[in-house]
Structure 1
Amino acid sequence: MHSRDLIEQYKSYVQDWRRYFHKHPELSNEEFETTKTLAKELEAMGVEVQVDTDRGTGLIGVIRGDKTGKAIALRADIDALPVQEHNTFDFKSDVDGKMHACGHDGHMAILLGAAKMLMSMKDRIEGTVYLAFQPAEETGAGAPGFIKFGDWYEKIDAIFGGHVWIDLPAGFISVEEGPRMAASSIFNIKVTGKQGHGAQPHQAVDAVVVASAIVLNLQTVVSRNVSALDSVVVTIGNIHSGT
């Protein structure tokens, strides 16, 4: 069977799972039920499953082809965000204050669909395919522990981490040689001022003004410290001051 036929065959399967995961979001390092659901579905297909029992979140599915060859991994992230959903469709989030706002519901569904397709052509696979369902992507903390879980990471020759992309027309796939997406790092800055009266700011050290200056000047990291040919983003996501 041609891969196009398989895509059409499992189209509704992927859509149904995407909607299921969208209704049942779990935050980073809390993806316990999501992990159980994924494991159960993969096992029902006949896929070998290895769950990270130390953390209770994240798992690896293993599809061993009938022919010898190299090993690759296909990776999907599984965590949601602390975002309140205000949509009205029937598969909107059932959990207050949590939703799949970054497409991880789709990523999981797509990888389950890929597993279905691969299992249906297992006799044609030369090598091994690892299905990596990674927790805690949103916090930037999930990958370091996940690649140390089991020995799958040492065995693979390549890994493909797909991501839906809103700027790409539906039906298109974008692939480039070399690194594709940037790594993320998180930083915190604490500014300690000196209290005073709002009418006498000259007698205080205004932490709000200092922090605001830091936010503005940090943008020169991009414009004056990095080559214009490189892509770098510095974002201040939260700022809090006072009571």
Structure 2
Amino acid sequence: MKEQLMKMLEERKEEMITIRRYLHQYPELSFKEANTANYIANFYEGKDVDIARNVGNGYGIVVTIKGENPGKTIALRADFDALAIKEETDVPFKSKNDGVMHACGHDGHTAYLMILADCLIQLKSSLSGTIKIIHQHAEETPPGGAKSILDSGILDDVDHIFGTHLFPTESTGTVGYNSEYSMAGRSGFNLGIQGAGGHGSSPHLANDPIVAGAHFVTAIQTIISRRLNPFDTGVITVGSFDGKGARNVIKDRVELEGDARYMSVETRQIIETEMHRIVKGIEAEFAVECDFTYVNDYPPLYNHPEITEFVKSTLEKVDDLDIKQVIEFPKFSGSEDFAYYLEKIPGTFFYIGCKPKGVEKVYFNHHPKFDIDEDSLLVAAKSVGHVVCSYFEQYNYSQFEKTIEIK
């Protein structure tokens, strides 16, 4: 089956590229991906699969491929939303939706998984088990689509889950992995500080919220330097401080926004607790009123070690010219809502190099000039295909289950 699958994928490489370019021209923002979802669902119409549409809190699609014989159930996921970015690339298939761009590779994720899924459908008579293909909406915008798809119950029978992401930091042919906590969790906060306005010449008759806000900006950094274990990772950013006014006027109110990132649930709890403590202290110290909202978005992404090792060893052993090297990626402080799946289902999220060939400067994900080497689509499809085949053909499931612990 593996040889058949790889040959089929190689023969359909150009189709992957065609799909990716079509999706790239017509990007849609999170929770607004109606046309993209229709395009994906229509691709599966008439095929011997079960198709569930509008799964979760948006346009999620789950396609179920049932093998000829019973066995384990796994899930493969790709996201399909875009970003509110005006594209600055010079490609002929540039976005036709002004101010919206596939700047994170989700068009590529969707394209490779559609073709891989179609090939697996054609080979289902050789499958002992079930594969659920998750085409997920709204990865970019909290609350995201992953948690709602989980909450729908459609994945309750899934034993293990796998996901990938395109990264331009490594050349095509490179597959990256990282075990345990591998991507950061994320929280967002808003703080409104109500003071008392007045004239700059008479600060004693006013109560300056800018001073209180400035103290907040400084004080929260002590959470990182004095409340976290030095070996733990955390960062707090104030990205907006709205205090603009006249130079001789003391404002009566300021608004601040920011986010926190962390590599463990324990660190998340410490940061949240200390943020609330500091806000209460500012109210008492500066005699102001604070409206503070703190929302936990995506959790830290935990790659289960045994499954990550399985993927690593599987891909290291394959004799495939398109997969040139398998390396350990550094932990990444970006966030990814695939983390929700991994809180409930053992699995792993690994990375596919897509560095464009012949360019002087590489632009990272979320940049208006972000681009990929389209040869990476075949690498992604074949990497996941090798994992799927090895999983169903070779893995010692009884031993596997005994070693898995959901974090």
Same fold (TM over 0.5): yes
Q: Is the partner of 1:190 in helix, strand or coil?
A: strand
Instruction: State the alpha-carbon separation in 2 of the partners of residues 214 and 171 from structure 1.
Output: 46
State the shift of 1:68 in Å: 0.9
Please name the residue that 1:154 is paired with: 156
Q: Which is further off, 217-226 or 164-173?
A: 217-226
Letter in 2 for 1:175: Y
Shift of 1:166: 2.6
Distance 1:85 1:52, change over 3 A: same
Query: Which residue number in structure 2 is paired with residue 118 of structure 1?
Result: 120
Alpha-carbon contact 1:140-1:184 (below 8 Å) kept: no
Which of these residues, 155, 158, 170, is aligned with residue 172 of structure 2?
170
Q: Quote how far apart the aligned CAs of 1:57 are.
A: 1.1
Residue 155 of structure 1 aligns to a residue whose secondary structure is coil
Structure 2 CA distance for aligned equivalents of residues 166 and 202 of structure 1: 55
Q: 5+ residue gaps in structure 1?
A: none
Structure 1 residues 142-221: aligned runs within 5 Å: 142=144, 143-149=146-152, 151-197=153-199, 204-221=206-223
- Contact 1:130 1:152 (8 Å CA) reproduced: no
Distance 1:53 1:229, change over 3 A: closer
Q: Does residue 1:69 correspond to 2:78, yes or no?
A: no
- Matches of 1:83 and 1:63, distance apart in 2: 35
Q: Deviation per CA, 1:63-103: give whole Å up to 9, x if none.
A: 11112111111111221111111222121111111111122
CA distance in 1, matches of 2:91, 2:203: 51
User: Aligned partner of 2:133: which letter?
Assistant: L
TM-aligned CA distance change 1:163 to 1:209, over 3 Å: farther
- In structure 2, list runs of 5 or more residues that go unmatched: 246-407
Match of 2:369 in 1: none
Q: CA deviation at 1:156?
A: 0.4
Q: TM-score, normalised by structure 2?
A: 0.53
Cα displacement string for residues 117-146 of structure 1 (whole angstroms, at most 9, x for unaligned residues): 312321222211111122221122122222
AA in 2 matched with 1:61 = V
Contact 1:35–1:56 (Cα < 8 Å) also in 2: no
**How far 1:186 moved relative to its partner?**
2.8
- One-letter code aligned to 1:87: T
Give the Cα separation in 1 of the matches to 2:42 and 2:198. 60
1:114 match: secondary structure: helix
Aligned twin of 1:108: 110
Amino acid at match of 1:17: I
Q: Mean Cα displacement is larger for which, 47-56 or 152-161?
A: 47-56
Q: 1:79·1:136 contact (CA, 8 Å) conserved in 2?
A: yes
**Larger strand proportion of the pair:** 2
Number of residue pairs matched?
A: 242
Whole-Å Cα distance in 1 between the matches of residues 8 and 201 of structure 2?
71
Matched residue type, 1:214: F
Tell me the CA shift for residue 113 of structure 1. 2.3
Equivalents in 2 of 1:10, 1:220: separation in Å?
54
Q: 1:105 to 1:234 in 2, by over 3 A?
A: farther
Give me the whole-angstrom Cα distance separating, in 2, the residues matched to 1:182 and 1:197: 44
CA drift of 1:61 comes to 0.8
Deviations 1:189-215 (A, max 9, x none): 223343344666676555445445434
